[in-house]
Amino acid sequence: MSSAKEESVNAVIDPATGEFKRPAAQFRNFISSKSNAEFPPEKGRYHLYVSYACPWAHRTLIVRKLKGLEDIISFTSVHWYMDLGGWRFVTPDEHLPGDNVAPDPINHVNNVRELYLLADPTYNGRFSVPVLWDRKLKTIVSNESSEIIRMLNTEFDGLVGEEFRGVNLVPEELREKIDELNTWIYDDINNGVYKSGIAKTQEAYEQAVTAVFTSLDRVENILQASSGPYLLGSQLTEADVRLYPTIVRFDVVYVTLFKTNLKTIRDGYPNIHRWLQHLYWDIPDFKETTSFEHIKKHYFKSLLPLNPNGIVPLGPLPDIREK
């Protein structure tokens, strides 16, 4: 008999090919500064539910800090452990590292599943993070990270100071290039590591791993030719933000657990490694939202079908090499 976790993994596996298929998010509302918007930007109205372990949630934490929204949008992180019921909140007597790893202060539910059912009692999809919650309407605005970060990038500019209004991760002149990068980086790298690790056939695994490293080679070449430290030159963009959570987890988790082990970032990709070191060591918003304890413990202790004994590797050390 399969465990609940195995059933959860199998639920997104194509039985014909053994390939991992990520289901689409189902809450797709948008905060808008346009008049008469159902979800207007307001200070204190919205709350992010995240996991420090989850790469999709990680991107929302980064953008929240880059845009100076700490006093506008609050957040709570769940426990790093995903139990049989999915993501759960810590109990009052549990103390984990990281800001706002706490019991749910808004709805006082025990887990993310209860949060979704509070928003929609008929919901039968995945109980994922991030979740952008509307305190006023008591519902989920969005559980699609790519759309949440677009909202955070523009729709709250009227509530922040000039310093942060000047931060635009998707400038109009670069939008087409950013969208192009996002498309293949998502397919082959962000989601590609999962397609590698959760594949159920040798063919599906090899196809996914090949795509991961072909696209990492492509990123390496882009950074080699870049006129600045970022993917699109001298300006930090959404493309960098979306790539970072995968790359920062690559050596410490994916190489081992997901068997993406043809190369490491630190020894196989000098330009990507330099880019990673710059983001982590030089821009506090990246380092301050990165918790290797949450990351490593979550993957190695929660994904038991891939690591049945739940043993967490000691290395690689250090998590990120100093510049």
The residues annotated as belonging to the active site are: 54, 194
Residue 145 counted as an annotated binding residue? yes
The phi-psi region of residue 138 (left if phi > 0; otherwise alpha if psi is between -120 and 50; otherwise beta) is left
Residue 128 counted as an annotated binding residue? yes
Structure tokens at 106: 């808004």
Residue 133 counted as an annotated binding residue? no
- Whole-angstrom CA distances from 227 to 188, 224, 282 are 24, 9, 18
Compute the distance between CA of residue 149 and CA of residue 316 in angstroms, rounded to an integer.
Answer: 30
- Whole-angstrom CA distances from 291 to 18, 87, 296 are 32, 17, 9
Half-sphere exposure of residue 155, counting CA atoms within 13 Å on the CB side?
Answer: 20
Phi and psi of 140, rounded to 5°?
-85, 125
Burial of 233 (0-12, 13-18, 19+ CB in 10 A): middle
Structure tokens at 63: 């953008």
Which helix or strand (DSSP H or E) is residue 47 part of? strand 46-50
Alpha-helical runs (H) found in the chain: 4-10, 55-66, 112-119, 145-154, 162-165, 175-185, 192-197, 202-225, 238-249, 255-257, 265-268, 270-282, 284-287, 292-302
Inter-residue contact 89 to 102 (CB < 8 Å): yes
Binding residues for glutathione: 87, 126-129, 144-145
Binding residues: 87, 126-129, 144-145
